[in-house]
Amino acid sequence: MKRTKRKEAIHKPVLIQEVVKALNLEKFALLKRQARIIDATVGTGGHTKKIIEYQAFVLGIDADKNILENAREILSKACSAMNQTVRGSAPKRDFRDCFVLAQGNFKDIDKIAREFRFSKVDGILFDLGISTLHLKSYKRGFSFENPSAKLDMRLDPDTQSVKASDLLNALDKNQLSRLFGEIIGKIASRRLAGSIYTKRKTKPFKTVSDLLAVVNSVKARKKLHPATLAFLALRIATNSELVNLKVALPKALSLLKTGGRLAIISFHSGEDRIVKNFYQESRQKIINKKPVTPGTAEISENPSARSAKLRVLEKI
């Protein structure tokens, strides 16, 4: 029998044209002024690849060094391709004119920006969550596709000591309930916390399959695998994602020039609530009163975009 290759995971950036508009990139291109943009969650470079088409100079930040190397290769090729199509006497650009990459967590965006001389910028983008490459990884336990994978979920194993399995094995019932409650609700989180607490008495949590064995107690939303929300909540807790977002937002605002834009794409209510509240309390200009969401065509092409919400703020 002919063996078929597993389809390579590709991360598709969401709301890409909406991000171009949000960051005023066409305006900068028309003025022939090189915008300085920070992509605080560069991932594999999908949004940054589009941003540099408008002659912007981008500082890309990501916590995952492997994903960052992937982005470096993609963006270097993109800059090279732009050089080949440059017209007239316009100067050619190498990758050092297009982007610079830094490994780190966006909670340290101010420190990273100063290090790379991006202290006053025209725009900052956060595309929250994780890459499709993380979800399709068969070793790190970000999703439930590989039951034998270790329950790790750390974005940066070099600096993060606590794995997802450590949380399941160490937290008490109340702490576990709070961990899951942000995403799956109070009643379901209490039920799941109790199941985890009981199971670990006989067998510590180590692999994806260990969590899958108890996750059926969670009532799933329509069209969602019952493990989806539990894995999401555990990943967020392992990487302190909501805490780090709260820390990063005022720092990001301080880095913007007057008239600079802060564009944030969120994927679940916990993230969006933090962003919405920060925007309202910041007393800056909110560009879109309601979040921008993907159209039916984008969702049809990329179903993972269906929960994306883009909010845009302008510094005054």
pLDDT digits (tens, 9 = 90+) for 172-207: 999 999 999 988 888 999 999 999 999 999 999 999
- Is residue 97 domain-shared with residue 195, that is, in the same domain? no
Task: Name the residue with tokens 């909406």.
Answer: 18
- Is residue 95 domain-shared with residue 203, that is, in the same domain? no
Q: Above 70 in pLDDT, residue 2?
A: no
- Is residue 119 domain-shared with residue 249, that is, in the same domain? yes
Distance from C-alpha of 293 to C-alpha of 44, rounded to nearest angstrom: 22
Domain end, chosen from 218, 238, 258, is at 238
Q: Above 70 in pLDDT, residue 92?
A: no
In a domain, 122, yes or no: yes
In a domain, 274, yes or no: yes
- Is residue 36 domain-shared with residue 100, that is, in the same domain? yes
What mean pLDDT comes out for the span 255-262? 98
Q: Exposure of 19 by Cβ count < 10 A (0-12 exposed, 13-18 middle, 19+ buried)?
A: buried
Residue 301 has which token pair?
A: 């092409």
- Determine how many CB atoms are found less than 10 A away from the CB of residue 52: 24
Q: Find the range with the poorest average confidence among 5-19, 108-122, 143-157, 206-220.
A: 5-19
- Determine how many CB atoms are found less than 10 A away from the CB of residue 312: 23
- pLDDT tens readout for residues 288-315: 999 999 999 999 999 889 999 999 999 9
- Is residue 25 domain-shared with residue 129, that is, in the same domain? yes
Please report which confidence band the pLDDT of residue 123 belongs to, taking 50, 70 and 90 as the band edges. very high
Please report which confidence band the pLDDT of residue 6 belongs to, taking 50, 70 and 90 as the band edges. very low
In a domain, 55, yes or no: yes
pLDDT of amino acid 7 = 44
Q: Above 70 in pLDDT, residue 217?
A: no
Predicted TM-score (pTM) of the model is 0.90
Domain that holds residue 201: 161-238
pLDDT of amino acid 218 = 67
Domain end, chosen from 204, 238, 272, is at 238
The CA distances from residue 274 to 101, 182, 188, 230, 248, in Å, are 27, 12, 23, 20, 11
Identify residue 34 by its one-letter amino acid code: Q
- Is residue 280 domain-shared with residue 196, that is, in the same domain? no
pLDDT of amino acid 130 = 84
- Is residue 247 domain-shared with residue 232, that is, in the same domain? no
pLDDT of amino acid 224 = 72
pLDDT of amino acid 84 = 62
Task: Name the residue with tokens 């990758």.
Answer: 95
Q: What is the rounded average pLDDT for all residues in the chain?
A: 90
Q: Above 90 in pLDDT, residue 114?
A: yes
What mean pLDDT comes out for the span 28-57? 95
Task: Name the residue with tokens 């399959």.
Answer: 209
